[in-house]
Amino acid sequence: MGHDKLRKFAENETFPCLLQPSAAELLADGYFALRDHEVKGHWGERFSSPSAPLVLELGCGKGEYTTALAEREPAKNYVGVDIKGARLWKGAKYATEKALGNVGFLRTRIEFITAFFAPGEVSEIWLTFSDPQVRSENSRLTSPPFLERYSKFLKDGGLVHLKTDSQFLYQYTLAVCRANGLPVLASSEDIYAEPERFDPSLTEVQTFYESMFREQGYPIKYLCFRLESSPAPRTFVSPADFDPDYWRSVEGDRTLFGRDTAETRRQKLHRKV
């Protein structure tokens, strides 16, 4: 492990806004019987305004979106969730240096999320440039297993926001909403082509990957849907009208993502065929 990563891990221990629970303790009774963490139901106590609405960003990476939203919306509390400590270091350091009293970070796997948030504790969820998991439906953050998790802690009428460059994930999520009767409040296949339809923050606040994909010519898609809370387990179904093979072909080979231009990527795909 590099010295810089070790330095970041050590500094992470000093940030009061960053919670790093033990996975072993959560899993003491097995994967399907997660133990609740003591913060569950008590997130408000970690912020300067305890009663403010709580918003999660799942898969927050370096936390630039979490902190930017928190600075724009001081009347809400924000928690960024990611498993990578070296990434979270940047957001946690920024929030600490700027003394942002409405920002927190949680280092954990998103599969464990129900161990940390109580029923009705969360108002909104942001999914920003999540891996579309084109080969594994249950790993997609808008799949039925994840919606079941979210429904356990979202308030009545809680919102889920998806911002993505992936046509595959965007179309899949639309199909999931249709299959489960989830109200779609807003959708766009290119938010930058019609910015007047949305709150300015949707285009003014960008993640690292968002900026990169835009430079490469990829349209940025947005979807917002309502997910009612469900204290009792609710069953969500997979969409029967979604053709993964077709949308995989539209998506192309995501292993080529990086700093290639869109044209270079198209050329690589053509050579592979």
In tens, the pLDDT along 58-115 reads: 999 999 999 999 999 999 999 999 999 999 999 999 999 999 999 999 999 999 999 9
Q: Looking at the predicted structure, is the pLDDT value of residue 1 above 90? A: no
CA–CA distance, 179 with 273 (Å, rounded to integer):
34
**Domain housing 64:** 3-272
- What is the DSSP secondary structure assignment for residue 199, as one 8-state letter? -
Q: What is the pLDDT of residue 194?
A: 95
Q: Looking at the predicted structure, is the pLDDT value of residue 50 above 90? A: yes
Q: What is the pLDDT of residue 269?
A: 43
- 272 — pLDDT class (breaks 50, 70, 90): very low
Residue length of the chain: 273
Q: What is the pLDDT of residue 103?
A: 98
Q: Looking at the predicted structure, is the pLDDT value of residue 260 above 80? A: no
- 178 — pLDDT class (breaks 50, 70, 90): very high
Q: Are 167 and 250 in contact (CB under 8 A)?
A: yes
Closest to 113 (Cα-Cα) out of 59, 159, 77, 160: 59
- Residue 105 neighbours by CB under 8 Å, 6+ apart: 15, 17, 18, 19, 60, 63, 66, 79, 80, 81, 82, 88, 91, 92, 95
Q: Are 125 and 158 in contact (CB under 8 A)?
A: yes
Q: Looking at the predicted structure, is the pLDDT value of residue 48 above 50? A: yes
- For the segment 158-183, the average pLDDT, to the nearest whole number, is 97
User: Can you give the pTM of this predicted structure?
Assistant: 0.91
φ and ψ of 258, to 5 deg: 155, -135
The predicted-structure confidence for 191-242, as pLDDT tens digits, reads as follows 999 999 999 999 999 998 899 999 988 999 999 999 976 556 689 999 999 9
- 16 — pLDDT class (breaks 50, 70, 90): very high
Q: Looking at the predicted structure, is the pLDDT value of residue 46 above 90? A: yes
CA–CA distance, 126 with 176 (Å, rounded to integer):
17
- Residue 153 neighbours by CB under 8 Å, 6+ apart: 113, 114, 117, 118, 119, 120, 121, 122, 229
- Residue 118 neighbours by CB under 8 Å, 6+ apart: 40, 41, 153
- Reading phi first (left if > 0) and then psi (alpha if -120 to 50, else beta), residue 86 is in alpha
Catalytic (active site) residue 190: no
Q: What is the pLDDT of residue 216?
A: 86
CA–CA distance, 210 with 207 (Å, rounded to integer):
5
The predicted-structure confidence for 129-139, as pLDDT tens digits, reads as follows 999 999 999 99
**CATH at 61:** 3.40.50.150
Q: What is the pLDDT of residue 234?
A: 80
| Cβ density class 107-133: b for 16+ within 10 Å, e for less | bbebebbbbbbebbbbbbbbbbbbebb
- What is the DSSP secondary structure assignment for residue 258, as one 8-state letter? S
Q: What is the pLDDT of residue 108?
A: 97
CA–CA distance, 102 with 122 (Å, rounded to integer):
14
Question: What is the β-pairing status of strands 18-19 and 103-107?
Answer: parallel
Beta strand extents in 38-109 (DSSP E only) = 54-58, 77-82, 103-107
- 252 against 133, higher pLDDT: 133
Q: Looking at the predicted structure, is the pLDDT value of residue 271 above 90? A: no
- 266 — pLDDT class (breaks 50, 70, 90): very low
The structural domain count of the chain equals 1
Of the listed 29, 82, 131, 199, which one is catalytic? 131
